[in-house]
Structure formats: structure tokens, C-alpha cells
Structure 1
Amino acid sequence: MHLTALPDAGPAPEITFDDFLKVDIRIGTVLEAAPLEGARKPAIRLVIDFGPGVGQKKSSAQITAHYEPDALIGRQVAAVVNFPPRQIGKFMSEVLTLGFADSAGEIVLFSPDQPVPNGARLA
């Protein structure tokens, strides 16, 4: 799934705590990162290790404004791991890597400020 800036339209509709629990957000460590060939918009393909419970998953992220692939190796990132896979060109993206748009609409990755175990779930 591509990580792209969404328009700021104010808060989303209210949900229940049970709805929130359905979204499985985990921390993983980037093992591989490279430009995503054939993407309509520049993107980086990632292989992320979410530990033994989830395993290694692939993601496509439109984060080229702030990140070079080599600098992402070893970095921990947050991702939604329970969305269905999505085909991005010839690449199958398995998780949605999370980030926030900066003032120019470019994505800044969301990650913990201290190391946590791969696979840790947002609490």
C-alpha cells in the first residue's frame, strides 16, 4: 500500500474502542529498501521484519522527499499489518507503513523514539 498524504479535512467520524482494536498497528525494522520501479509516483519498496508473530512483510511508501533507501535500513517503523495486500504496479504491498504529512504534503515516517521489540503492537 502506498503511504501518501491525505487531505486534512478535520477529524474522522467517531469510532468505538472495539473498532480501534480491529486496526493492528505494529513496529518493525526495515531490512531492505530500494526504489520502486514502475511506480507512477516515486516510491520506496520496503521489506520490514515484524518479528515471529507477523514475520517479514513488504510495503510501498511514497517517502522519497525525505528518505533515501540506504538510510532506512535498520530503522523501526509503524505499519498497519492487517489490511489486505494491494497491488502497486508489479509490486504486492502487504502492509501500510504509517507517517504524517509535513507542511508541504510530504510524508514523514512515524516511529518510536526508543527501540521496542519487532512486532510490538500499538497499545
Structure 2
Amino acid sequence: MFKIVLVACLLGLAAAASVDQAAEIRSLTNEPADAEGNFAYAFDTTNGIAVQESGNVAGVTGAIQYISPEGEAIEIKYTADQDGYHPVGNHLPTPPPIPEYIIRAIEYINAHPQQDEPLKKVVSSSPFRG
């Protein structure tokens, strides 16, 4: 177990050494929450990282941009509200399209809702009949 932790620490140190430690903040905007709870902040750095977010207690919207270790420009736009976190980005995986036969089946089910049968009381065969 100790060897695994040691190897993990060494890998973490090697990854940290590749981070641009000389990056500086080029711009910073910070608007703390006002009386209604609205806030906003944004910053960008010399190594290509840019972040912005604004919102209130009902939810937030924001964007993150950076350059991946492979040199790819990554951009994530997101919202977060009572329904959860919703990221959007070209690099994020997307689900396969829904097959046409599934769409037709869902349309049929929605057009023909199941009717619940009324429950029938079976009193005469109950062993707990009093």
C-alpha cells in the first residue's frame, strides 16, 4: 500500500512540475454579491486560462477556456441551477442519436396512455376475514 501511495505522489509531483508556474493574471473583475445576491467575476491569465461566471441564488452561467496539454483549445460554457450542472463544449462526449423505432414507440405510448383498472376487492377468499 505504501508503494502505491509513493508512486501516486511521485506522479502527482511530476504532473505539477509541468504546470506553468510563471503564469500571471492579466485581468481580474470581481463584483461581490449585492443585496439581491447577484454576483460576477472574471479573470484571464498569461497561460491562456480565462474564466467568467455570474449569477444569483437561482443559478449561475459561466465559461472556462484553456489550452489542453495536447495543445487543443478547450471551451466549456455552463449553467447551474436547481436542475443541476449543464456543461456544453465541443470536446465533451455526446450520446448517440435515439433510434427512430424508439422515438415512434415513445410517441405511441404518449398517444395511448395506459388505463388503470379499478382494484377489485376480494373479500370472500381472504384468510383474515373477520
Give the TM-score category using the shorter length.
under 0.3
- The alignment's TM-score, normalised by the length of structure 1, stands at 0.26
Structure with more of its chain in helix, by fraction: 2
- RCO greater where, 1 or 2, for CA within 8 Å and sep 6 or more? 1
In our comparison, the structure showing a higher alpha carbon Rg is: 2
- The alignment's TM-score, normalised by the length of structure 2, stands at 0.25
